[in-house]
C-alpha cells in the first residue's frame, strides 16, 4: 500500500480508505489511484453492466 501511495501521490490513509471502499474517499482520490494503476499497465473493462474485469497489459 505504501508503494501505491507513492505512485499515486495519495496518502497511505487515503489508499486504506479506498481499499475499505469507504464512501469518504473523494472522487478525485479514486481518479488519482486509477491513473496510477493505468500508468503501471493495469486496465479495467466494464462487462455485463456491473462487472469490472481487471487485466495487466
pLDDT of the chain, 57 residues: tens digit per residue:
899 999 999 999 999 888 887 776 688 898 899 999 999 999 999 998 889 899 998
Q: Which three cell numbers stand for residue 52?
A: 469490472
Q: What is the pTM of this model?
A: 0.69
What pLDDT is stored for residue 13 in this prediction? 92
What pLDDT is stored for residue 45 in this prediction? 92
- Among the listed residues 47, 5, 53, the one whose alpha carbon sits nearest the alpha carbon of residue 25: 5
3-state secondary structure of 2: helix
Amino acid at each position: 500500500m505504501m508503494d501505491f501511495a507513492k505512485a499515486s501521490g495519495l496518502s497511505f490513509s487515503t489508499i486504506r480508505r479506498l481499499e475499505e471502499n469507504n464512501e469518504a474517499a473523494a472522487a478525485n482520490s479514486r481518479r488519482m489511484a486509477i491513473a496510477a494503476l493505468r500508468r503501471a499497465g493495469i486496465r479495467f473493462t466494464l462487462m455485463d453492466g456491473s462487472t469490472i474485469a481487471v487485466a495487466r497489459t
